[in-house]
Structure 1
Amino acid sequence: MLRNFYTPHLGAGLLLSGLLALATPAHAQTDLLADLEKQTVDSTRREVVAATFKGTHIINAQSVETPGQGTLAFLIQHRFGTLNSGAYEFFGLDQAVLRLSFEYGLTNRLAVGVGRTNIDKTFDGFVKYKALQQTTGARPMPVSVTLFASAAITTLRFTDPAVERNTASRVDYAYQALIARKFSPGLSVQLMPTLIHRNFVANAAMQNDVYAIGAGLRQKLTKRVALTADYFYLLPGNTARNYRNALGLGFDIETGGHVFQLHFTNAKGMTEKFFVPQTDGNIFNGDIYFGFTVARNFTIKSQLK
């Protein structure tokens, strides 16, 4: 007599095994769909492009960068004399132009600064605002735009009473729109429409308002070294006929807590009122100034709440 080996307990076990076999692929499929959904969400999230430039200055020009909220940047800008000044002046090393400045980030997008240079004993102050920031992801913003405005006043004493000027006549203004794009981790480019307004000019043939178009770039060479350049083209006018376009070439070197910048330029001054409308150095004649900028950041107010 044959026995029936099928029992209710055996049937339940077979049914449970079948359900588990079906559930396992379903669970794996659910995990896969969740991962795909997460990737889709991440790809649509807007990300701000950081570090278009490593400092708040390129060479002569301001960059789109600001120090950041609660950060105080101390800058030492130093420029020697021209290389063609000869051995007696030690090829420019016996001469020096110096500018000291402080820049402070009121917010991550708004910064203010003050500085002083020994050319005409000039004080300057400025404000920078990041109006637009380059982003990636959903509805990307292709460029960053920082608005810059500054005022500079000379405090030089005039020995001839005939040329003594009142306070208003000693003030110059600069206005710029800094438009930059970081094309890759190594390459950033910036354009700079510029207006310089001078309350006082030496004669009627000079221009109170000087217009220029600037351009700058940064190209990384190694992890810590980058090639930098900036150039300002003076639009046609009396100033363009009497002065030259400012050109600078240099290197950014990142060294821990600060950026060390080495550069060569035909511009002696280090604020907009000097290097945009008053550059007289002829590069082809050797009127080249060697200089450096050291920037050190200090956290004044912690961003952590």
Structure 2
Amino acid sequence: MEFFTDDDVKTALPWPRLIDELRDAFAKGVSQPLRSAHPVPVPGEPDATFLTMPAWEAGGKLAVKILFIAPGNSGRNLPAVNATVMVFDAVTGQAEAVMEGGELTARRTAATSAMAASFMARKDAKSLLIVGSGKIAGNLVPAHRAVRDYENVKIWGRNPDNAKALANRFEGVGVATDLDAAVAEADVIAAATITCDPLIKGKLLKPGSHLDLVGGYTKQMREADTDALQRAAGGIVVDTYDGAMAEAGDLTQPLEAGDISKNDIVGDLAELCRGEVTPRKSANQITLFKSVGAALEDFVAARVVASSG
């Protein structure tokens, strides 16, 4: 059985290939039961979450990711997401590979968002705003740059020093000091935070913008307010219906309040990649992609990494 470090994973998953592989897999489909999630109390801090995410292709491979998400790690200067991924032969059950899951999770998450934006964002989008300054936010910059030719890229973070440090890792990326002003200017906004208080105000979104909500993965978390969801109504796509409708507070809260309806969600990534839905129907329409993460994404990335050994 081969072992792959985060550095090995990064080398094996260049953005164009990963985005193409994800597009193909969402169109074709794999078996992916709803992930199993368990809260883990942490004294004096927000609860951690333990998850398992399996997916497989009949007669091919099976991949399972095991995660421990610890929000309190931000105060310890440690990654919030700790993960390991294993790959098995789906016929014999033989374990073939194990890999560190931090880089894989960040890259597949960012690549999925960029893949959605390749369908949903305007072709002439020139300005990109990243909201957040963690590991996934850092991957959103090159992932989105792989599908659009942005002239202006900015990063906003609660901690300005962290945002500046992240921006300095990339050529031509600046720091946004005023979030509201940056939201009002951006053609594409990609948020990767774990906030429960919406940061993005829908009234500020410019006509034709695309909003990518990556960070919230529980019913309590929200990155955008209800106005944003209402302005994007009819142009909303989710990664998977089962996951988003069970876990995404950005959707479940306004749905339960009656502020939007299920009809405002026009499709999932499988339908989008098969060309069965068209969320952007005009240049001025606001579109929104909400992801909570799907085991298919881990399966695709892990299969590519395992084949590189």
- Report the TM-score when normalising by structure 2: 0.30
Query: Which protein, 1 or 2, shows the higher relative CO under an 8 Å CA cutoff with sep ≥ 6?
Result: 2
- Report the TM-score when normalising by structure 1: 0.30
Q: Which has the higher helix share?
A: 2
